[in-house]
């Protein structure tokens, strides 16, 4: 079990939660959330488009507000919390990273598909050169065995990552699978190990605790569960659970409860819950940010969104292949049509 001073939380509602609000965050919303999280002593606050720096596009969803303005706003109201940004090589660029660092972002989380860590090299190295704390983020970790995960994590460690994350992008991992992956990384790596959960199978909290038990010390949460799919590990609940376990995070529990209730709840378009679509994401092992795209395609082609998601899972479609959602929906509609 990790030492109680070791659990460091990253709040992802202002990045992962961007999916849940269709990337419509305003400067006012980001300012009020970041200011309150800073007062609650949350160590890291991630701010970016849902798909990371440079994600605002027709393919991934256009932002209401330029994310650089949101990053700048968050930096301006935080003196304790460090602002983190997410970057997916191929979507975000080195130039985007430099701009974010110039605005005061202190942590770069470089995300790749679980088998493609090699594309993160120059981004992790650049982040280090910029003086940023660097995180390697291995997405869709359910799609590779622990041995492959270790191999890929070692690449990120060699590039200079301070932390490597097991990322359950689909919310598809089961607790014993989380434990196996985190334990394997803990055994083979010298850097910090992190875990990012999604709640599509109602396992975010259980998986997070399994990760901590196996040696993860960097943990992601989203306040009020504000994240893609059914959301992430609920931060304010996690703080309470860890306190019950005698694990201190340094985060003010009552303040987190108040932020969840008074500031974040009114931002949510609808309560984060496990519905048939988000449940299907976890069941089929599909990237959580595909949910809104699949819903739109289902309406457009008059097919069941669950059929789209299950077929995407069968084809092992990964982040960055959003265009396949329309193709699959069109094929399903064609197959359904009377000859």
- pLDDT tens digits, residue range 266-299? 999 888 999 998 999 999 999 888 888 899 999 9
Asked if residue 287 belongs to a known ligand binding site, the reply is: yes
What is the distance, to the nearest Å, from the Cα of residue 31 to the centroid of all Cα atoms in its chain? 20
CATH topology of domain 8-266: TIM Barrel (3.20.20)
The percentage of residues in the chain with a pLDDT greater than 90, rounded to a whole number, is 86
pLDDT at 109: 98
Residue 140 has pLDDT above 80, yes or no: yes
CATH 3.20.20.70 in the chain, residue ranges = 8-266
CATH 1.10.8.60 in the chain, residue ranges = 289-336
Among the four given CATH numbers 1.10.8.60, 2.60.40.10, 2.10.109.10, 1.20.1280.50, the one describing domain 289-336: 1.10.8.60
Asked if 23 is an active-site residue, the reply is no
pTM: 0.94
Side-chain-side CA neighbours of residue 110 (13 Å): 33
Asked if residue 198 belongs to a known ligand binding site, the reply is: yes
Asked if residue 15 belongs to a known ligand binding site, the reply is: yes
Asked if residue 141 belongs to a known ligand binding site, the reply is: no
CA angle, residues 299, 297, 58, in degrees to nearest 5: 130
CA angle, residues 201, 205, 208, in degrees to nearest 5: 110
Asked if residue 196 belongs to a known ligand binding site, the reply is: yes
Q: Residue-wise over 4-14: b if at least 16 C-beta within 10 A, else e?
A: eebbbbbbbbb
Contact 12, 48 (CB under 8 A): no
């Amino acid at each position: 079990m990790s030492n109680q001073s070791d659990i460091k939380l990253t709040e992802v509602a202002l990045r992962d939660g961007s999916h849940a609000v269709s990337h419509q965050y305003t400067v006012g919303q980001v300012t009020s959330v970041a200011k309150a999280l800073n007062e609650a002593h949350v160590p890291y606050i991630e701010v970016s488009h849902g798909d990371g720096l440079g994600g605002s596009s027709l393919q991934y969803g256009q932002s209401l507000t330029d994310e650089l303005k949101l990053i700048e706003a968050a930096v301006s109201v935080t003196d304790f919390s460090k602002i983190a940004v997410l970057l997916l090589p191929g979507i975000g660029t080195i130039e985007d990273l430099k701009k974010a660092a110039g605005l005061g972002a202190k942590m770069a989380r470089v995300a790749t598909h679980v088998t493609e860590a090699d594309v993160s090299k120059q981004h992790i190295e650049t982040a280090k050169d910029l003086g940023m704390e660097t995180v390697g983020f291995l997405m869709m970790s359910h799609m590779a065995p622990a041995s492959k995960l270790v191999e890929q994590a070692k690449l990120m460690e060699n590039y200079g990552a301070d932390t490597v994350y097991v990322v359950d992008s689909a919310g598809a991992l089961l607790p014993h699978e989380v434990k196996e992956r985190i334990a394997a990384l803990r055994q083979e790596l010298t850097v910090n190990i992190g875990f990012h959960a999604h709640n599509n199978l109602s396992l975010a909290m259980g998986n997070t605790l399994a990760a901590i038990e196996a040696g993860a010390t960097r943990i992601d949460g989203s306040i009020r569960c504000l994240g893609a799919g059914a959301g992430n590990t609920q931060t304010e609940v996690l703080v309470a659970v860890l306190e019950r376990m005698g694990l201190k995070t340094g985060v003010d529990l009552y303040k987190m409860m108040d932020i969840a209730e008074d500031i974040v709840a009114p931002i949510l378009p609808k309560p984060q819950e496990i519905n048939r679509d988000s449940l299907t994401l976890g069941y089929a092992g599909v990237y959580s940010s595909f949910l809104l795209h699949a819903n739109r395609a289902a309406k457009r082609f008059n097919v069941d969104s669950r059929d789209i998601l299950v077929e995407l899972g069968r084809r092992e479609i990964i982040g960055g292949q959003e265009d396949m959602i329309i193709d699959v929906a069109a094929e399903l509609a064609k197959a359904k049509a009377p000859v």
